[in-house]
Chain A
Amino acid sequence: DADVTQTPRNRITKTGKRIMLECSQTKGHDRMYWYRQDPGLGLRLIYYSFDVKDINKGEISDGYSVSRQAQAKFSLSLESAIPNQTALYFCATSDSRLGKTDTQYFGPGTRLTVL
């Protein structure tokens, strides 16, 4: 779905570095989510945001922070990256106003490697 974009698509970094992953959407959705995907573990929710002023922790928020700069932008930061944060990261959006709150649309993913 080209309406949800993520940058960068791939990133290699070193332990201790600060990293920011960005997500933008042109779908006009109010809700945004960050997940990480690891083999055999499925998709795990890191943070989610219902609107610009609403940020919530997910299942695995330790070591991560987020910023909802605008309705269309939701950034994920790793303040001090560590190797076990190596994963594929997905942003997703949903629109509560249509009565389909739970239908989520995913971005293309960011593959992050921490050495």
Chain B
Amino acid sequence: GENVEQHPSTLSVQEGDSAVIKCTYSDSASNYFPWYKQELGKRPQLIIDIRSNVGEKKDQRIAVTLNKTAKHFSLHITETQPEDSAVYFCAASKDNQGGKLIFGQGTELSVKP
């Protein structure tokens, strides 16, 4: 089955710097890659997603890139702010499994003022 590896497990940056989190997946049939943000004590919430027919997607300070050949995708956060501090999860899915997501292990991002 699908396996998703996420790195790093923890990441500390200074406010204003950029942060990058990387994930690799094993199943070449996966075609949907969402990113979820989980603040302390809260539920995970979708922040951005990408499908396999595009290589990059941006939403303000957040962007996701996908390299299908290498089977990896990354989350990029620019101009980080303290409120970006959270745990971030990547995931992968195949459409024909109707939303069955396989998650990475999570990255705890800390943005220091």
Residues in chain A within 8 A of chain B (CB atoms): 1, 31, 33, 35, 40-45, 48, 50, 56, 58-59, 90, 94, 96, 101-109
Count B interface residues, CB 8 Å: 24
Whether A96 and B98, one on each chain, are in contact in the complex, defined by CB atoms closer than 8 angstroms, is yes
Report chain B residues within 8 Å CB of A105: 46
- A105–B34 Cα distance when bound, in Å, is 12
Known contacts A90-B43, A103-B34: A42-B103 contact under CB 8 Å: yes
- Which residue of B1, B43, B95 is within 8 Å of A101 (Cβ)? B95
Report chain B residues within 8 Å CB of A31: 98-99
Report chain A residues within 8 Å CB of B93: 102
- A26–B6 Cα distance when bound, in Å, is 33
Whether A106 and B9, one on each chain, are in contact in the complex, defined by CB atoms closer than 8 angstroms, is no
Whether A106 and B44, one on each chain, are in contact in the complex, defined by CB atoms closer than 8 angstroms, is yes
Whether B49 and A40, one on each chain, are in contact in the complex, defined by CB atoms closer than 8 angstroms, is no
Report chain B residues within 8 Å CB of A1: 43, 45
